[in-house]
Structure 1
Amino acid sequence: MTHYTPEALSRAVAAVCPDIRLRIDTGTVSDERHLWWELSCCILSSQVPYSLAMAAADAIDKHGCLHQDGQDSQGLADRLFDLLSAPLDVEGKTRHYRFPKARAGHLAATWTAVTTAAGSLNSLISGLTANDMRTWLVAHAPGVGPKQASMFLRNCGITYDLAILDRHVLNYMSAQGIYSGGQASISGLNQYGRHEKTLRDHAQELDCPVGLLDWAIWIVMRVANRKQEASSI
């Protein structure tokens, strides 16, 4: 939590929102390979740095594991485990992924669920609303909670009306007096939806879609925390 006033934080967030609008690509991702890369990143980024998740997703994409027909779930999980166990180049440094077995299983099970339900990720997305797609992912994709599902749908340009309630956003909401929970993350979809609605109301006050507001909050809170840490040295 920062020592900045709620008013200062909301002003900073409101100032960043227009820049976020200008940066986003308004097109929707429909390429199957790109969709799987984005979903892989969201699954792989849980409890690890996003740069490491991207490197792991790149390794999986390079070998085409998630866009091949006629493979069984266990065989896919084994191939993914081998890839996630190998050293990864992350910004010029060799790193190892933290949860190779668990995430390999999550990705393989997700691939099986998607292909069984609709044949492809693009077909599944095309047949559902954004909110229903998030619900489906939470129910059928192991390792995907509301936050990861919302991130996937935003990163693919499918919707900017769902929020990514990470610890930075929840800390901001606490500072604004609109969140009193003690959790650093919210996993239940119903509870998540209630807090998301609260943030959506706040987003309307700042005239910014909630899916972009949380991005602006993430930027502002990270900067505020760094400045606070620097001033305390």
Structure 2
Amino acid sequence: MKQTAAVFVGRAAIQVELPPIEAEVLPGVAWGAIEAFPSPAYWTYQVLARRLIAQPVRYRLGQTLPEEVGACLLGGHGIPAAIGLAAFHKLKAAGVFARATSEDELLRLLSEKMSLGDRSVGYRFAKQKACYLSAALARLANETPPSRSGRHLRDWLVSIPGIGYKTASWISRNWLDACDVAILDIHILRAGFLAGFFSPELTVERDYLRLEEQFLAFSAAVGVQASELDAVIWLEMKSSPATVTALMGGHRNGVQPTPRPARRPKPSIGARTKNHDADARQRSLIE
């Protein structure tokens, strides 16, 4: 029996129909229940509900490609989202993305304290990021990056020192709204292992492109854009740490799950999903 759920849009109720719980979305991967976080049916419903209630996630952080590269490079692993964003706005205000900027100037700016609310904070890895950002801006100033597809841009970006597959995919997805790349951070990996669409023996360090293929195959199988899917999964997984920890068997730092589907409220209220601050949380897709 097919599953049905309702999305409330103003005074209207729009019915969403998905395959039966036991049907396979991919070989060996069942759709699961719509209300069972984090099943394939749950993720599909969440993407469709956001479309219908006009709450898409905004991707771009910058107004130019150099700004987008800077925003993503300054965020990422080990950098809290708010601090990475503050550093980006500081450099943008100094005009570094619109002209040739030396590594020394970038290091000076990143080494200065920044105001964050009522606090004065420092930026970690200032020397390393100044080096990477200087190299990236020089390449962007002297070459024309490919824009035929997200993958072409991503493959060009990974040739720049300090930009790996995750950061390059993040930039490409944001700038081109690309659906042929995937941003595989810890939240996406956990969701994929829990839902069963990632092979458990693969690791992002060794097998990024194989995991990306599996993510893209999953998004195609459920009929939603990869760019929408990874953003929605990231937002939901990031905002549900206690539930995710329980599902992972109490091991938050790992990605191998203890399969225990968690039930969430019936999806007839799904249109009233949590109002995420999409702009703020999208600042750092990679922890």
TM-score of the aligned structures, taking structure 1 as reference length: 0.78
Q: Which position in structure 2 is the counterpart of 1:147?
A: 166
Q: Is 1:65–1:76's contact at 8 Å kept on the other side of the alignment?
A: no
TM-score of the aligned structures, taking structure 2 as reference length: 0.64
Distance in 2, Cα, partners of 1:89 & 1:54: 12
Q: Is 2:146–2:152's contact at 8 Å kept on the other side of the alignment?
A: no
Please point out which of 88, 113, 119 is paired with 1:57: 88
Distance in 2, Cα, partners of 1:110 & 1:147: 16
Deviation at 1:40, TM superposition (A): 0.9
Identical aligned residues as a percent: 26
Deviation at 1:46, TM superposition (A): 2.4
Q: Aligned ranges for residues 25-174 of structure 1 at < 5 Å? A: 34-47=64-77, 48-68=79-99, 71=100, 76-118=102-144, 124-126=145-147, 128-139=148-159, 141-174=160-193
Distance in 2, Cα, partners of 1:97 & 1:39: 17
Task: In structure 1, list runs of 5 or more residues that go unmatched.
Answer: 1-5, 119-123
Q: Is 2:149–2:176's contact at 8 Å kept on the other side of the alignment?
A: no
Equivalent residue pairs, number: 210
Letter paired with 1:53: G
Letter paired with 2:167: Q
Q: Is 2:57–2:228's contact at 8 Å kept on the other side of the alignment?
A: no
Deviation at 1:147, TM superposition (A): 1.2
Structure with the higher strand share, 1 or 2: 2
Q: Does 1:206 align with 2:222?
A: yes
Structure with the higher helix share, 1 or 2: 1
Distance in 1, Cα, partners of 2:176 & 2:117: 26
Letter paired with 2:169: S
Deviation at 1:150, TM superposition (A): 1.4
Deviation at 1:19, TM superposition (A): 4.6
SS in 2 for 1:143: coil
